[in-house]
Amino acid sequence: MADATVTLEVQRYRPEREDEPVWERFEVPARREWMVLDALNHVKDRLDGSLTFRWSCRMGVCGSCGMTVDGEPKLTCATPLAARGDGRPVRVEPLRGFPVIRDLVVEIRSFLGKLKRTRPWLIRDDDVPLAAGEHLQTPAELADYKQYSMCINCLLCYSACPIHHLEPDFAGPAALALAQRYNLDSRDRGAAERMEELSRHSGIWGCTFVGECSEVCPKGVDPAGAIQRYKLAAAADWFQSILLPWSGQARAKRREVAR
Amino acid sequence: MSRRRFHPRWFRRRTPIFWWLEKGVYVHFIVRELTSLAVAYAAALLVVQVAVLGAGAEAHARFAALLASPWAVGWHALVLVGLLYHTLTWLHLAPKALVVKLGGHRVPDAAILAGHYLGWLAATALVALVLVRS
């Protein structure tokens, strides 16, 4: 008796051959322990070495293997191949909302630029020597930002975000959540510096709170929540600068903007 | 060998105009956004009512008669459905944006949601009280 197989429908795009993507079918072994990424690697190793896709760690840490599986953005290394068990083909496409370079590989330079502009690193206004020791944090201070630090930049949230598809300038969920990760870190002093970039229309105000970014995140990060929290903070800052223009925070903000 | 073979040519998919029909979540989102028009309409109607009230009892009686017509009642029943949908979805999103800490602990989302419902009930009761007494 022949081994059971699963039909894998993969979207192919070879710019030297096709003007637009086409579907190609492959029969792969229906191994219970296989993830979709294992099936793709089987295709590449045994059936068609030209199939192109990104992957690295195979354990949901590197964020390289994000693709659209059966219409949903997924990490293919964490999506079981035969879980559905209804005999229908498993459809694999590139992440939506990004230009496709080849087969399942998308162009992500636009995201990297947005990420850099939100300054996702610790910013300090002092120069503390190493000899001064660690910057200590309480468990509560760690809890404030920890969930946002779990982001692996897999871009599933961008693929799920219709605003990112419609407005390419929108900074997007991961970049904004990572900016919040540093804003909420008790060691950071860069909130005012990030404010200018984040409070643009293409920043937090571009988000209309569809909320799907948080639903598809494989690491349990809540970018939608981070953005809404930042909207509240930005609005409060604005009111404070109008009502209490002499307050320390408002003065610091104006200094930052003037710089 | 053609020059095209080595030229990077990315494929960009156009977002279809009915993208929001692809998923129930997107439909829910679009309906929520559209029902904000009901909120804007209700606010504008209130302003108009106040202006008409300022124009005298006769003008207000004419306006009230207009609002009592069957088509106006039907229309405002639809507006009410939109208002309720928008209000309920808005209330359920509020805990995402609000992080409240009491005694060093984060107040659970359910408590924040309950607080919003209580506030809504209190405001409704207040308006009802004013209407009943007037």
Q: What is the pLDDT of residues A202-215, one digit of tens each?
A: 999 999 999 999 99
The tally of domains found in chain B comes to 2
Q: A199 versus A52: which is more confidently predicted?
A: A52
Query: In this predicted structure, what is the pLDDT of residue A2?
Result: 58
Q: What CATH topology corresponds to A5-106?
A: Ubiquitin-like (UB roll) (3.10.20)
pLDDT score of A259: 41
What average pLDDT does chain A have? 91
- Asked, for residue B93, whether it belongs to a domain, the answer is no
A232 touches chain B (CB under 8 A): yes
Residue B9 has pLDDT above 70, yes or no: yes
Burial class (CB in 10 A: 0-12, 13-18, 19+), A14: middle
Q: Is the ipTM of this complex over 0.95?
A: no
In the predicted structure, residue A10 carries a pLDDT above the cut 70: yes
Residues A167-182 have a mean pLDDT of: 95
- Determine the topology of domain A109-258 in CATH: Fumarate Reductase Iron-sulfur Protein; Chain B, domain 2 (1.10.1060)
**B11-40 pLDDT tens trace:** 998 899 999 999 999 999 999 999 999 999
Residue A258 in this model has a pLDDT that exceeds 80: no
* pLDDT band, residue B2 (cuts 50/70/90): very low
Give A28's strand partners: A6
- Best-predicted range by mean pLDDT among A229-238, B50-59, B73-82? B73-82
CA distance A158 to A63: 13
For chain A, which residues make up each domain, given as ranges?
5-106, 109-258
Contact A54, A64 (CB under 8 A): yes
In a domain, B4, yes or no: no
Who contacts A82 (Cβ-Cβ below 8 Å, separation ≥6)?
A6, A30, A31, A32, A34
Out of B8, B25, B99, the one facing A229 most closely (by C-beta) is: B99
What's the gap in Å between the CA of B36 and the closest CA on chain A? 12
Residue B6 confidence (pLDDT): 44
pLDDT at residue A99 is higher than 90: yes
pLDDT greater than 80 at residue A256: no
Going A78 to A81 to A84 to A85, the CA torsion angle's sign is negative
Q: Which residues of chain B lie closer than 8 angstroms to A162, CB-CB? A: 15, 19-20, 26, 29
Domain that holds residue B61: 20-85
Chain A: give the shortest CA distance to residue B28, in Å.
9
Instruction: Answer yes or no: is B33 within a domain.
Output: yes
